[in-house]
A and B are shown apart, each in its own frame.
Chain A
Amino acid sequence: MGTKRLREDDGEGKEGKKPSLIRNKERRSEAFAQLKREKKKEKKLRIKARDAREKECIELGEAPPPRKTPRTIENTREPDETIVRPDDDELLADIATDEFAEHFNRDKSPKLLITTCRKCSKRTFKLILELQSVIPNTEYYKRNKRSLKQLVKDATEQDFTAIVVIHENRREPDGMVIVNLPEGPTAHFRLSNLVLRKEIKNHGRPTSHLPELILNNFTTSLGHRIGRMFASLFYQDPNFRGRRVVTFHNQRDYIFFRHHRYVFEPKETKQKGEKKKKTAVIARLQECGPRFTLKLLSLQHGTFDTKHGEYEWVHKPDMDTSRRRFFL
């Protein structure tokens, strides 16, 4: 009675009012909770019916009807013509001559210089210490008041292959710039959701074995290039016996960095309805080292030069007009 009649249909489409139209918070949350309960019940009934149908079909010897796949954002991603194909001869020619070719041809081994922005806090230092344990062959240099361009020159003279600069905002690391040397591309990332080793429950301590590298989902041409850039920070010879793995997992343009120790173990599983126990070999993971998320902001052709540099890819707000479009 108290509700206003603003529209013709009072949200009476689906057996009763929409909870969002109820203005009283308590009544609204009750209505919503009830709606959720009903939906859950319906879903259970649907699944039961589906399983029963499948069982019947199997008993009859027919093929059961195919299960519907849920719609996800990754499923409905906008078709991208830049997605890299393994049989592309142009791609192979490009890879053979790009800035990372020397690393992949094993002509150069990685040597990293890590530094920070000019005045940084304790948390950034801790991150750097942990990164030094993750990425092999890194050296930390204090930034003091040096300009990045000068640093690039000095590092090239000393045969470094890349510089990693951790930027900070409000005493929290929030950006990462990876400058490949001598003339390599410069990638600028936003760093977020940093969790240091001590903050992870049941963390492990990493060893000094060369880690194995996993690069997931770098599908487009730009993504492929970024993936190669990450790969060029690590040695080409992983020590599998060391059971250490570093993962860069790209999902929806966010790159998740994880560092684990793993172990293969036989595990006994008991399946429903079967009396025998099955033993399967599974990999158990123990997370060690920092955990953070990166998002690519720009990829610049050439070394760091914001004034006169050319950009290969820059994030612009009008790229975000579609929720199904991703660039990496």
Chain B
Amino acid sequence: MPRTSTLEPPGCPAQLRAICCDALGFVKVVEARGENGAENGPLDVVARWGQPGAGISAISYSNSSNRLAVARKSGDIEILESTDGSICAQLASLNLDAKERESDAISGLHLFREDGPCGQSVLSCSRNGDAALRAFGDEGPPSPVSRWNVCKSGDVLSMRVHNSENVASFGGNRVELSLWDLESSSKVWEAKKPRPNNIGLVSLPYVTASTFLLRDDHRKLVIGTGDYQVRLYDVHAQKRPVVAVTFKESPIKAVAEDPDGFTVYVGNSTGSMASFDMRTGKLLSGFKGKLAGSVRCIARHPSLPLIASCGLDRFLRIHDIRSRQLLGRIFLKQPLVAVVFDDQAKTSEEPLLTASQEQSQGKRKQIENEVDYMDKEDDEDEEEKPRKKKPKKHKKPKRKQAGKDDEATDLAEDESPAKKLKELKKLKRKQNGETSEPKKKKIKDTTSEKPNDKSTNKKKRTRGQE
């Protein structure tokens, strides 16, 4: 029988601070207030900046410099101090015609780090594909604009700049996902349309959300499409998506990566949120709890295991990642556009190896190796590889490594019953269709490999045996 009493969500950790922007033009700062020094507390709006009327179309937050860049409907970009909301710089719209400004809103924005390669500058991209890299200074005349066109037709809906600030990805409706080098303003890589399906139809590109999967490697991108798919692209493997998963039946509006390097949080336009493991394409968990409208933006907290989501149902929600529980939510009255976390601890954004990143590096090797498995051209080679690797993997925790290695190399001479048992077990596993995660494989230089090249696959095998 349905409940007759209310269940209050448990509070959010007290050091939480999130900045949320809405379609009316307000920037709201939300904090969790623990009552009487309690650890967890409900969310509350602490500050509200901005005037109604100048709706926000995109934002970008720089944790290290405490600045928030906000792009308004009119095409103007404001850079605010995230402590008090004061405007420290303003960039006027590049479109001079008023009519053009209305139809050509900025759909992608990135605020560069002050100590990074680009310095105090902002990269903006409008719907028509007009990308501009502009510097803003505290003093002096405005520096020249670096401007280029990303697409000839279609709408650019998503733009992301990688953590290294050298590469940016662009994608949109009828705009294929592409990577551009920021220094030379040239296209480095472009995705290819997926193969025709069983009827022979090729779906047009419709990138609605994108993110770089790893902080120190710009080669892996995860996108959400308007055709309900979550796709992983590996720039050095192939132009077609490496992993493609269909999620429910509405366009994916938000994609956010987890610092562990393989988890991705996805939100769609009917208010469903889930997390995927992009190594396998498996759905890890769904997030329930008061999601009624389109999820416009998902933000993952840099240090705490939390995600914030906001959308058209005008609520900001905080979920715990591990338990998938709704920790808190707050009604923000306007349809929301984006949310970012303001990490109070101010961890450095440089690629220092933290514990999770070391793990992710180790796992990255696995990802690279597994990515090859995803290519269907490699099917024939899969049989032989697992046989050799499996004994190492499954028996490692029980026995010493030295003895085990000897067993692995003596596979061809299995005469003892124990070894025959092992063989049987291997066959069974192979029948069950298990794919292995080879750990001892050497790190390959995947740049030179081509997917359809069988000769290179043979090379891989020999390397493993050595």
A associates with B:
yes
Evaluate contact between A323 and B292: CB separation under 8 angstroms.
Answer: no
Please determine whether B52 and A310 come into contact, CB atoms closer than 8 angstroms.
no
Which B residues are in CB contact (< 8 Å) with A23? none
Partner-contacting stretch, out of B328-336, B407-415, B423-431:
B328-336
Q: Which residues of B contact A90 (CB under 8 A)?
A: 24, 26, 52, 333-334
Instruction: Say yes or no for B2: interface residue by CB 8 A criterion.
Output: yes
Query: A310 to B269, Cβ gap below 8 A?
Result: yes
Contact with A311, one of B4, B26, B53, B269 (Cβ below 8 angstroms): B269
Tell me if B6 counts as interface (CB < 8 A to partner A): yes
Of residues 252 through 294 on chain B, the ones whose CB sits less than 8 Å from some CB of chain A are 253, 269-271, 288, 291-294
> How far apart sit A150 and B165, CA to CA, in the bound complex (Å)?
44
Q: How far is the CA of A88 from the CA of B226 in the complex (A)?
A: 36
- Distance of B124 from chain A, by nearest CB (Å): 23
B4:A322 contact, CB within 8 angstroms: yes
Q: CA–CA, A78 to B4, complex, Å?
A: 9
Q: Is the CB of A221 within 8 A of B314?
A: yes
A58 close to chain B: CB less than 8 A? no
Interface pair A308/B293, CB less than 8 Å apart: no
**Counting CB contacts under 8 A, is A281 at the interface?**
no
Please report whether the interface of chain B is mostly helix, strand, loop or mixed according to DSSP.
loop
CA distance A76 to B5 in the complex (A): 9
A81 to B314: give the CA distance in the assembly, Å.
11
Chain B residues bordering chain A, tally (CB within 8 A): 30
Contact among B24, B53, B292, B333 for A319, CB-based, below 8 A: B292
Asked if B251 lies at the interface with its beta carbon under 8 angstroms from chain A, I say yes
In the complex, A323 Cα to B53 Cα: how many Å?
38
Do B333 and A316 touch (CB < 8 A)? no
* Given A313-B293, A319-B292: A78 touches B312 (CB 8 Å cut-off): no
Q: Does A60 contact B (CB under 8 A)?
A: no
The answer on a CB contact under 8 Å between A312 and B335 is: yes
For window 290-338 of B, CB contacts with A under 8 Å fall at: 291-294, 312-314, 330-331, 333-335
Task: Report the Cα distance A318→B7, complex, angstroms.
Answer: 14
Count of inter-chain pairs, beta carbons less than 8 A = 82
Asked if A314 is at the interface of the complex by the 8 Å CB criterion, the answer is: yes
Per-residue CB contact flags for chain A residues 41-83 toward chain B (1 = under 8 Å, else 0) read: 0000000000000000000000000000000000010110110
Tally of A interface residues using CB under 8 Å: 30
Distance of A221 Cα from B251 Cα, bound (Å): 25
Contact of B313 among A76, A308, A312, A320 (CB under 8 A): A312
Tell me whether A158 is interfacial, beta carbon within 8 Å: no
- CB neighbours (8 Å) of B312 from chain A are 301, 310-313
CB distance from A271 to the nearest CB of B (A): 40
Q: Judge whether B400 is part of the interface by a CB distance below 8 angstroms.
A: no
Closest partner residue, chain A, to B315 (CB atom)? A82
Q: Which residues of A contact B53 (CB under 8 A)?
A: 93, 97
Q: Is A324 interfacial (CB-CB < 8 Å)?
A: yes
Do B3 and A322 touch across chains, with their CB atoms under 8 A apart?
A: yes
> How many angstroms from the CA of A88 to the CA of B253 in the assembled complex?
30
A19 vs B449: C-alpha distance when bound (angstroms): 80
Which chain B residue lies CB-closest to A318? B288
Does A91 belong to the interface (CB within 8 Å)? Answer: yes
Task: Please give, as numbers and ranges, the residues of chain A lying within 8 Å of B2 by CB-CB distance.
Answer: 320-323
Contacts of A78 on B, CB cut-off 8 Å? Answer: 6
Inter-subunit contact B251/A97 (CB<8 Å): no
In the assembled complex, the Cα of A318 lies from the Cα of B53 at a distance in Å of: 35
Q: Which of A309, A311, A322 contacts B271 (CB 8 A)?
A: A311
Asked whether, in the complex, the Cβ of A310 is within 8 Å of the Cβ of B334, the reply is: no
* Contact in complex: B331, A82 (CB < 8 Å): yes
- Given A313-B313, A322-B6, the answer on whether A94 and B333 have CB atoms closer than 8 Å is yes
Q: Which of B1-58 contact A (CB under 8 A)?
A: 2-6, 24, 26, 52-53
Residue on A nearest B251 in the bound complex, by CB: A308
Which A residues are CB-close (under 8 A) to B335? 301, 312
Residue of B nearest to A90 (CB): B333
Q: What 7 A-B pairs come out closest when comparing CB atoms?
A: A93-B52, A310-B294, A310-B269, A312-B312, A81-B331, A312-B293, A322-B3
26 A-B contact pairs sorted by A residue (CB < 8 Å): A90-B26, A90-B334, A93-B24, A94-B52, A94-B333, A97-B24, A97-B52, A97-B53, A301-B294, A308-B226, A308-B251, A310-B253, A310-B269, A310-B312, A311-B250, A312-B335, A314-B270, A314-B271, A314-B293, A316-B271, A318-B288, A319-B292, A321-B2, A321-B3, A323-B2, A324-B6
**11 additional A-B residue pairs with CB within 8 Å, beyond A309-B250, A322-B4:** A78-B6, A82-B331, A88-B333, A91-B333, A97-B53, A311-B269, A314-B292, A316-B271, A316-B291, A321-B3, A327-B292
